[in-house]
Amino acid sequence: MAVVQKMDISHSNAAGLTIAPADGPFGAVVRGVDLRLPLDTETAGRIRVALVTQGVVAFPDQKLDDDDLERVSLTFGPFGDDPYIRPIPDRKHIAAIRRRANETAPLFAENWHSDWSFLEIPPAFTCLYGIDIPPVGGDTWYANQQMAYDRMPADLRAKLEGVIAVHSARGGYAPKGQYGERDIGRSMDIVHSETAMATQRHPLVRAHPETGRRAIFSTHGYIIALENCEDGDALLREVVKWQTPDEVVYRHKWAPNMLVIWDNRVVLHRATGGYDGHDRLLHRTTIADRRT
């Protein structure tokens, strides 16, 4: 088994930009930039390197409005497609990730996933900005799928070569899915649809287009079957066991006015609860991947 090693990504420059490791096995914290202003090319480039190598980058203490969130997002690529969550009024690309203090519907996004992996071209990055952040709970957990892949035994990695994963949104967003017609009392604006029954195929293991590092892409839930292998169900169960051990998980703690950007090609993520009695509101955009 390969040993998980934290990469040294520490950086500071004369303009005050600092990039430091997050409090976990991967991830970075960026300070010394004001995201209300356009980022210069060098700073944007440094942040992008941290993002694609670390998988998750947090920017504490940024007082952003929706225009700022859109502009920062567009620094890293064009907006992605966001099906099944109606955008907030007057914005095409911002979704509200909301839970009210007294809400009893099951938590949104509590299962490990890579955003919209069932699309033909899933988003490269997701941006999430904390507005109302509860004083306890509500952490977002990230699992690094490059580290998870590296820790797998060589014979398992060999079995994954050429395996195709079949993805679908049906378990979540079809009329009979988790957020379908029986999902009541939810404050998030989720729109279920028969289109969620569609399937899309992606290689189970993909090389990152910018770093070349190989990672398992997405997980059981959006992945509904494996093809081009013997006994896909058993293989998927085996892969899932390797995807989220503590050694590859970073538990991100939110604060109000914090922006987090993650690379969906590197990490899985999941929401967590523990904040009943408190509102939680974040604004989210996704950033498109390139067509390969």
Q: Based on the shown chain and the rule CB under 6 A, indicate whether residue 133 belongs to the binding site for ligand SIN.
A: no
What distance in Å separates the CA atoms of residue 50 and residue 96, rounded to the nearest whole number? Answer: 26
Q: Contact 142/55 with Cβ under 8 angstroms?
A: yes
**Binding of ligand SIN by 64 (CB under 6 A):** no
User: Whole-number minimum distance, CB 235 to ligand SIN, in Å?
Assistant: 26
Q: Is 284 in the site for ligand SIN (CB under 6 A)?
A: yes
Interface with ligand SIN, residue 269, by CB under 6 A: yes
Which x/- pattern over 221-260 shows residues binding ligand SIN (rule: CB under 6 A)? ----------------------------------------
Shortest CB 143 distance to ligand SIN, Å: 13
Pull the structure tokens for residue 81: 């497609």
Residue 107 tokens read as 């938590």
Among 53, 54, 73, 140, binds ligand SIN (CB under 6 A): 140
On whether the CB atoms of residues 180 and 169 are closer than 8 A, the answer is no
Of residues 140 and 244, the one with the C-beta less far from ligand SIN: 140
How far is C-alpha 87 from the geometric centre of its chain's CA atoms? 18
In whole angstroms, give the CA distance from residue 143 to residue 9: 18
Alpha helices in 55-197 (DSSP H): 66-75, 145-151, 154-160, 170-173
The yes or no reply on residue 265 touching ligand SIN (CB under 6 A) is no
Binding-residue total with ligand SIN (CB under 6 A): 6
Q: What is the nearest approach in angstroms of ligand SIN to the Cβ of residue 130?
A: 9
CA separation for the pair 248, 207 (Å, rounded) = 18
Residue 141 Cβ vs ligand SIN, minimum distance, rounded to whole Å? 8
Examine residue 166 and tell whether it contacts ligand SIN (CB under 6 A): no
Q: Is 109 in the site for ligand SIN (CB under 6 A)?
A: yes
Q: Where on the phi/psi map is residue 13: left (φ > 0), alpha (ψ -120 to 50), or beta?
A: beta
Nearest CA among 135, 142, 131, 145 for reference residue 252: 142
Min dist CB 271 to ligand SIN, Å, is 3
Nearer to ligand SIN by C-beta: 33 or 129? 129
* φ and ψ at residue 37, rounded to 5 degrees: -110, 150
Residue among 140 and 218 whose Cβ is closer to ligand SIN:
140
Nearest CB to ligand SIN, comparing residues 49 and 107: 107
- Compute the distance between CA of residue 124 and CA of residue 239 in angstroms, rounded to an integer: 22
> In terms of C-beta density within 10 A (0-12 exposed, 13-18 middle, 19 or more buried), how is residue 283 classed?
buried
Q: Closest separation between CB of residue 66 and ligand SIN, Å? A: 17
* Position 33 contacts ligand SIN (CB under 6 A): no
Identify the residue among 30, 223, 271, 287 touching ligand SIN (CB under 6 A).
271
Q: Report the nearest approach of ligand SIN to the CB of residue 259 (Å).
A: 13
Q: Does 97 bind ligand SIN (CB under 6 A)?
A: yes
128/62 Cα distance (integer angstroms): 12
The footprint of ligand SIN (CB under 6 A) covers 97, 109, 140, 269, 271, 284
